[in-house]
Amino acid sequence: MLDSKIPAGKLEDKWTEYKGHCKLVNPANKRKIEVIVIGTGLAGASAAAALGELGYSVKAFCFQDSPRRAHSIAAQGGINAAKNYQNDGDSVFRLFYDTIKGGDYRAREANVHRLAEVSTNIIDQCVAQGVPFAREYGGLLSNRSFGGTQVQRTFYAAGQTGQQLLLGAYSALERQVALGTVKVYDRHEMLEVVKIDGKARGIIARNLITGELERHFGHAVLICSGGYGNVFYLSTNAMGSNVTAAWKAHKQGAYFGNPCFTQIHPTCIPVTGDHQSKLTLMSESLRNDGRIWVPKQKDDNRKASEIPEDERDYYLERRYPAFGNLVPRDVASRAAKERCDAGYGVGTTKKAVYLDFADAIMRYGKIECGKHGIENPSKEVIRHHGLDVVKEKYGNLFDMYAKITGEDPYEVPMRIYPAVHYTMGGLWVDYELMTNVKGLYCLGEANFSDHGANRLGASALMQGLSDGYFVIPYTLGNYLADEIYSKAIPTTHEAFAEAEKKVADRLENLMNIKGTETVESLHKRLGKIMWEKCGMARNEQGLKEAIEEIRTLRNEFWNNVKIPGGIKEFNPELDKAGRVADFIELGELMCIDALNRKESCGGHFREESQTPDGEALRNDEEFMFVSAWEYKGHNGNNIEWELHKEELNYEVIKPSQRNYK
Amino acid sequence: MQHYTMNLTLKVWRQKNANTPGDFQTYNVENISSEMSFLEMFDVLNERLIEEGKEPIAFDHDCREGICGMCSMVIDGKPHGPWAQNTTCQLHMRAFKDGDTIVVEPWRAKAFPVIKDLVVDRTSFDRIIQAGGYISVNTGNAQDANNLPIEKKAADEAFAAAACIGCGACVAACKNSSALLFTSAKVAQLSLLPQGAPERKTRVVDMVAQMEKEGFGACTSTGACEATCPKGISITNIARLNKEYLWATLTAE
């Protein structure tokens, strides 16, 4: 039975009550307790720093060459917080409500409310650390809007918010390194969770420079390893982003929650060809000012500038007048796919729509001319001033677009298309962020908990830092208070030896296949299956086919993969092979979960379940639950999983059909 | 924009590990699309090398969108290649033409030892940050963010300095392998903000001391760092660091 350990009491009092009554560990004991943190993105770095500050002895692991490289660094648009600095009607409740609704009523009320509560502390903390958020001339913090909301609650630092927040957390982490409470293991990859008497007690990690395996003990293990979007091969994730740490935890008994909930982001730079290695996001903040359109005429090959206003279809504004271009991501993505599939796409591949700033440039230009007292300005003068404003707001994004495409987005509209961006699914955790394995925690994007079936923009940074700075310091203590009698277990313990042997054997197996197909090409094939059959739209037949195809691919991988080099050396191909092997298993589970969930909700769109006008149609009667999959082991060529359900009880919000019209 | 394909000759630095001397190896690559990124061109080459049973070229990369700071190639003598304010991963092949020969090397600096081929060890940068690149504030109970208004100009300047991605191109470009642009960007960010004031003196002195300990060279103000920096970090940050350093040492107790 899954116990989510949601505290009793009124929703708005649960977290305060919990904090008031959870168990504590005294400072002298904290020093003797070791905590392992996997991943150094916003969740991992903030957790490691905060736990180090409390006095725990922390080991932080990352596969990159420095904790500062974690992919949180690439988050662009911003971070939400219910500060209501704009006096536009925001509140903790409103942020909570928007997040639950945005997630299409598939997230836990108590977790999301806590997230909304601590959102305000995050901004305070980051400013205290010296994070240079955007400010107004009066010296106060600036805000902007994001999709799925009608208030301005997003804090930002140009289009580099993730970078600035991560560098803040990284600085806090490095400060703890200097103080001796945290030790960082960079270029290390976690390859196994070590369990002793049912509790997570350490890990096996591989030093990626020497290839040596290492044993590390911990009284608790925190998985903060991010999302699994790279299962699609092409995504906005970094090349190294992977599911391996979470997958090892899953195979050691941690349930995987809602694996099929993936977010396809509507505004990314389109694919150009088979050589493509990754996709680049253009921040959702651009939808504040950019208008999305396609030609009204099918297969229109004219340049954007040659298409007159009345021959353009601003389809989001047409379909969703209340939210317009700021509908949630899943809605915007499906609408783009619908137009392109119907033959209205633009660009050479016809798999793109326009994101146009011409109106915004003129609108801002007029305001600026007014401010500067310029009377009867010419169109050129207005445009000139407008360009300056747009440059300040989005300059780095426009530059990035120009570098990749060779086109100047100040002159021609951007071409954009949806791409895999974020995964709402992840390891199942309870209210304390503990998986169903004792002592094994999961934070940030790697867990399933806060975003339901669709994440709203600027909420990932909020969740990562909430989990790391403000939740885990309390909830971990509640567990560790009973662990103060457990001495550190020597890594000569047989459980460590067995785990290390398992990892070593797997590496040997991989190297001994000596087949003919490269890791990269197998990964591409997996991505293609996933994108076509478990992507923006899914149906029963496609998913069944995908499961069979992935099983075949898994056999091929284990019989025919070709990995150069050796084990005891710096060998990125071997690292990648291990990750792709895990992605293949995960891909199968994602399709099984998608097949099982015979409803549409958020980013999960089952073609069999839609409203007459093509919107996602939920089935609350049968599917108002979290799917938590238990790994049951290999049975011949098949992997078996058992489904556990965590029923979602909405005590405060009444779920309704989402409506952004 | 017209797209085209090209054939190229690559001269790439190969080095087994830190203890083995390296040398240049020549590779020909064909049918490279002008739409590819520079690293995608390397992907194509590596796939071929693997298929031929040869060892692929090791290089650092991760986000491939110019922000993580991991990619690090000296291309035709320039860190991150020919484009201004650009990272290796954002360099696209339309910067080259059919028949070009391209020379690719790792960052070269005593404080950045080679790990393999084009991969170097930059943990010295982390240790410079450990020496003081932070504000000493524990988590929790910070005052309301808007209780601390900060002049927009100072906030913008602090942000411009904070945009450093820690890639190390400044070091690779410097004839002395100085890390002063990197160090000064962090010192400047924190000295421009009121939150950074209490630790201003110790920060600059400790970070500079660590930089020297790591084996980075001295700054002789040639400006190669600024010209190379993918994020346009200004050399005025170095002037600010010098000012901070002078003030801190002159008023030391």
Q: Which of B88, B116, B144 is the last residue of a domain?
A: B116
Please determine, for residue B225, whether its predicted confidence score (pLDDT) is greater than 90: yes
A238 to B64: CB separation less than 8 angstroms, yes or no: yes
| Residue A412 shares a structural domain with residue A426 | no
Residue A285, pLDDT score: 84
Domain harbouring B190, CATH code: 1.10.1060.10
Residues A425 and A315 in one domain: no
Average of per-residue pLDDT values in chain A: 96
- Predicted local confidence at residue B37, as pLDDT: 97
The pLDDT value recorded for residue A159 is 86
Identify the domain boundary among B116, B131, B148. Answer: B116
Residues B38 and B131 in one domain: no
Position A507: which residue type?
L
Q: Which of A387, A420, A453 is the last residue of a domain?
A: A420
> Do A124 and B143 make contact, defined as CB atoms within 8 angstroms?
yes
Considering the domain architecture, whether residues A455 and A518 belong to the same structural domain is answered as no
- Residues of chain A with Cβ-Cβ distance to B43 below 8 Å are 275, 277, 520
- Looking at the predicted complex, does its ipTM rise above 0.90? yes
Please state, rounded to an integer, the average pLDDT across all residues of chain B. 97
Determine the pLDDT at residue B99: 98
User: Quick one: pLDDT at residue B154?
Assistant: 97
pLDDT of A502 higher than 90: yes
Q: Which domain holds residue B17?
A: 5-116
Q: Does A1 have pLDDT greater than 80? A: no
Radius of gyration of chain B (CA): 21
Q: Which residues of A touch B195 (CB under 8 A)?
A: 127-130
Specify the 3-state DSSP secondary structure of B2. Answer: coil
Residue B133: helix, strand or coil by DSSP?
A: coil
One DSSP character per residue, A640-656 reads EEEEEEEE---SSS---
Q: Which of B63, B85, B114, B117 to mutate to test the interface with A (most CBs of A within 10 A)?
A: B63
Q: Report the largest interatomic distance among the alpha carbons of chain B, rounded to a whole angstrom.
A: 66
Least confident of A10-24, A68-82, A394-408, B168-182: A394-408
- Chain B residues whose CB is inside 8 A of the A64 CB are 62, 68, 70
Residue A622 and residue A560 in one domain: yes
| B156 and B242 share one domain | yes
Mean pLDDT (whole number) for A219-228: 98
Q: Is the domain of B173 the same as that of B90?
A: no
Q: Hey, are the CB atoms on B92 and A562 less than 8 Å from each other?
A: no
Of chain B, the percentage scoring pLDDT greater than 70 comes to 100
* φ, ψ (nearest 5 deg) of residue A435: -75, 180
Of all residues in chain B, the percent with pLDDT exceeding 90 is 98
The CA distance from A599 to A616, in Å, is 8
| pLDDT tens, position by position, A44-67 | 999 999 999 999 999 999 999 999
C-alpha to C-alpha distance for A156 and A78, rounded to whole angstroms? 4
Provide the domain count of chain A: 3
Q: Tens digit of pLDDT for each residue in B164-218?
A: 999 999 999 999 999 999 999 999 999 999 999 999 999 999 999 999 999 999 9
Q: How far is CA B187 from CA A200, B136, B174, B180, in A?
A: 41, 14, 19, 10
Q: Tell me the whole-structure pTM to 2 decimals.
A: 0.97
Of B40, B123, B151, the CB nearest to A66: B123
What integer pLDDT is reported at residue A473 of this predicted model? Answer: 98
For residues B100 and B50, membership in a common domain is answered with yes
Per-residue tokens: A523? 């990964």
How far apart are alpha carbons A430 and B221 in whole angstroms? 56
Order across the sheet with B5-14: list the strands: B23-33, B5-14, B101-105, B74-75, B78-79
Distance (Å) from the alpha carbon of A636 to chain B's nearest alpha carbon: 31
Phi-psi category of residue A376: left, alpha or beta, with phi > 0 → left and psi -120 to 50 → alpha: left
Contact A74 B126 (CB under 8 A): no
Partner residue opposite A404 with nearest CB, options B56, B70, B92: B92
Confidence of residue A147 (pLDDT cuts 50, 70, 90): confident
pLDDT at residue A385 in the model: 96
A68: pLDDT strictly greater than 70:
yes
Q: Identify whether the C-beta of residue B70 lies closer than 8 Å to the C-beta of residue B63.
A: yes
Across the interface, whether the CB atoms of B135 and A53 are under 8 A apart is answered: no
Whole-number Å distance between alpha carbons of B106 and B133: 26
Tell me if A352 is assigned to some domain: yes
Give residue A593's pLDDT band: very low, low, confident or very high (50, 70, 90).
very high
Q: Considering only A208-212, A521-525, A635-639, B79-83, which range has the smallest mean pLDDT?
A: A635-639
One domain, residues A315 and A380? yes
Residues B13 and B127 in one domain: no
Token pair of A546, please? 């995908």
Evaluate whether residue A8 is within a structural domain.
no
* A275 with B130: Cβ contact below 8 A: no
- The pLDDT of residue A146 is 85
As annotated, the active-site residues of A are 329
The reported pLDDT for the residue numbered B1 is 64
Is residue A336 located within the same domain as residue A459?
A: no
Percent of chain A with pLDDT over 70: 100
Q: What pLDDT, on the 0 to 100 scale, is given for residue A288? A: 86
Residues B29-45: tens digit of each pLDDT = 999 999 999 999 999 99
Contact A347, A415 (CB under 8 A): yes
* Interval A223-231 mean pLDDT: 98
Residues of B within 8 A of A50 (CB-CB) are: 139
Q: Do A403 and A466 belong together in one domain?
A: no
In b/e form, how buried is each residue of A205-219, taking b as 16+ CB within 10 angstroms?
bbbbbebebbbbbbb
Q: Which residues of B touch A49 (CB under 8 A)?
A: 139
Are A57 and A179 in contact by the 8 Å Cβ rule? The answer is no
Among the ranges given (A51-60, A226-235, A278-287), the one the predictor scored with the smallest mean pLDDT: A278-287
